[in-house]
Amino acid sequence: MAQIIDGKAAAAKILEKVTRAAEELKAGGITPGLAVVIVGEDPASQVYVASKSKRATECGFHSVQHSLPESTTEQELVTLVEALNRDPSINGILVQLPLPQHIDSERIIHTIAPEKDVDGFHILNVGLLGAGAVSKALVPCTPAGAMLLIEGVRGKDLSGLSAVVIGRSNIVGKPMANLLMAANATVTIAHSRTADLAAVCRGADILVAAVGRPEMVKGDWIKPGAVVIDVGINRIPAPEKGEGKTRLVGDVAYAEAEKAAGAITPVPGGVGPMTIAMLMANTLTAACRAAGRQPPVL
Ligand code: GUN
C-alpha cells in the first residue's frame, strides 16, 4: 500500500509558516501585499480569484482585488499593472488567466515587474529557474508545491533518482523538470509525441503527471515504490452519483497506481491545495526581498 501524500496538510503547514513570517515582517513595519487582477466574468476564474484574495487576507497580507469588465482594453490593463508595479504596498501581482481574446496575455505577463511576478511566468523568472538560480527566481506555484511534496517523501537531494515529467507546458512541465534537475534528479520530459510512454514511465523513481488527460497513466506504468505526483484535475461524468453528476480525477488511474507506488498524491487533496499556499509563499518571498531580508525556508 502506498503512502498517501496529504497535500491539504502540507499546504496548511506552509500557510502557517507564511502567516508567522508575515507577523514578524509586520512587527518590523512591513506588510506583504498581493494584488489579484481579473478581467471578465468567467465564473470558475471568479471563484479562484476570490479564494486567492481571501487566503492572502488570512495570511495577514494587504490583499487587493481588481475586478475589471470584459470590455477592458489591453492598454487599460497595462496601465493598471504599471500602477501596481510602482505601488510600494504591493509585493505580488497576479493577473488571472485566461484573459479575454482581445488582450495579449504575453504582453501583460511581461508588463509585470519580475520581482512582483508571483506566478513566475515572466521570462526573467523562467530564465533564472532554467539557469538553476532557484533561490533568485520566483517559481511557478504548482510545480513549486509539487516539489515540496516530493521533498517531503524523498528529501531535498534527489541524486541518483530518475524523474519523469509527463507534460511540457510552460506553467507546469518545464519548470517542474528544472526544479527536479536543480535537486540533482536525472530528468526526462515526456509528452504526447513520446514513443512508448509506458516504458519511459516504468523507469521513473519519481513520476509527475501534468497532461490534463483523465486517468491516462495506468497502474502498470508505475515502477514499484515510485513517488507519483498527479498534477491533473479533470472533471468527468459520474453517472453512478446520479444523472448529470460529475467527479474530479487526476491524470493517473489512482486505484491501479496506488497498488504499485511507494507514495502517491490523491485528486483532489494532493497538489491542488499546494498551489494557493505557494502563491502566498511567493508573495512573502517577494516582500522579504523588497525589504532586503532573507525569505524563510519552507
Ligand atoms: N489560471 C489558472 N491557474 C492560474 C495560475 O496559476 N495563475 C494565473 N495567473 N492564472 C491562472
Q: Which atom of ligand 1 is nearest to the CA of 119?
A: 7
Q: How far is the CA of 161 from the centre of ligand 1 (A)?
A: 30
Catalytic residues: 52, 96, 119
One domain, residues 151 and 245: yes
One domain, residues 146 and 242: yes
In a domain, 185, yes or no: yes
One domain, residues 148 and 61: no
Q: Which pLDDT belongs to residue 84?
A: 99
In a domain, 168, yes or no: yes
Mean pLDDT, rounded, of the chain: 98
Answer whether 90's CB lies under 8 Å from 34's CB. Answer: yes
Q: Which atom of ligand 1 is nearest to the CA of 171?
A: 6
Amino acid of residue 275: T
Answer whether 93's CB lies under 8 Å from 142's CB. Answer: no
pLDDT higher than threshold 90 for residue 1: no
One domain, residues 67 and 109: yes
Reduced to 3 states (helix: H, G, I; strand: E, B; else coil), residue 274 is helix
Q: Which of 113, 130, 158 is the last residue of a domain?
A: 113
One domain, residues 155 and 86: no
One domain, residues 175 and 52: no
Report which of 157, 156, 152, 183 is spatially closest to residue 165, judged by C-alpha positions. Answer: 183
One domain, residues 153 and 264: yes
| Alpha-helix runs per DSSP H in the chain | 7-27, 43-58, 74-86, 105-109, 123-130, 141-154, 173-182, 197-202, 254-260, 272-290
Answer whether 48's CB lies under 8 Å from 60's CB. Answer: no
Mean pLDDT to the nearest integer, 188-192: 96
One domain, residues 158 and 262: yes
Q: How far is the CA of 96 from the centre of ligand 1 (A)?
A: 5
Q: How far is the CA of 273 from the centre of ligand 1 (A)?
A: 14
Q: What are phi and psi of 132, to 5 degrees?
A: 85, 10
Residue 282 near ligand 1, beta carbon < 6 Å: no
Distance CA 205, CA 186 (A): 10
One domain, residues 146 and 268: yes
Q: Which pLDDT belongs to residue 110?
A: 98
Q: How far is the CA of 199 from the centre of ligand 1 (A)?
A: 32
Amino acid of residue 228: V
**What is the domain count for the chain?**
2
CATH number at 50 reads 3.40.50.10860
One domain, residues 157 and 246: yes
- Kindly report, residue by residue over 31-61, the tens digit of the pLDDT: 999 999 999 999 999 999 999 999 999 999 9
Residue 119 near ligand 1, beta carbon < 6 Å: yes
C-alpha cell at 70: 470584459
In a domain, 18, yes or no: no
One domain, residues 155 and 65: no
| Enclosing domain of residue 203 | 140-272
Q: Which residues contact 228 (CB under 8 A, 6 or more apart)?
A: 2, 207, 209, 217, 222, 252, 257, 261, 263, 264, 265
C-alpha cell at 167: 507534460
Mutational test site, ligand 1, from 37, 97, 169, max ligand atoms within 8 Å of CB: 97
Mean pLDDT to the nearest integer, 87-114: 98
Q: Which of 113, 148, 172 is the last residue of a domain?
A: 113
In a domain, 147, yes or no: yes
Q: Which pLDDT belongs to residue 81?
A: 99
Q: Name the band, by pLDDT with cuts 50, 70 and 90, for residue 5.
A: very high
One domain, residues 156 and 268: yes
In a domain, 212, yes or no: yes
- Kindly report, residue by residue over 138-189, the tens digit of the pLDDT: 999 999 999 999 999 999 999 999 999 999 999 999 999 999 999 999 999 9
In a domain, 47, yes or no: yes
Residue 95 near ligand 1, beta carbon < 6 Å: yes
Nearest CA to ligand 1 atom 1: 97
In a domain, 77, yes or no: yes
Residue 257 near ligand 1, beta carbon < 6 Å: no
Q: Which residues contact 248 (CB under 8 A, 6 or more apart)?
A: 233, 234, 235, 236, 267, 268
Answer whether 21's CB lies under 8 Å from 284's CB. Answer: yes
Residue 96 near ligand 1, beta carbon < 6 Å: yes
Mean pLDDT to the nearest integer, 254-270: 98
Amino acid of residue 171: I
Q: How far is the CA of 143 from the centre of ligand 1 (A)?
A: 13
In a domain, 200, yes or no: yes
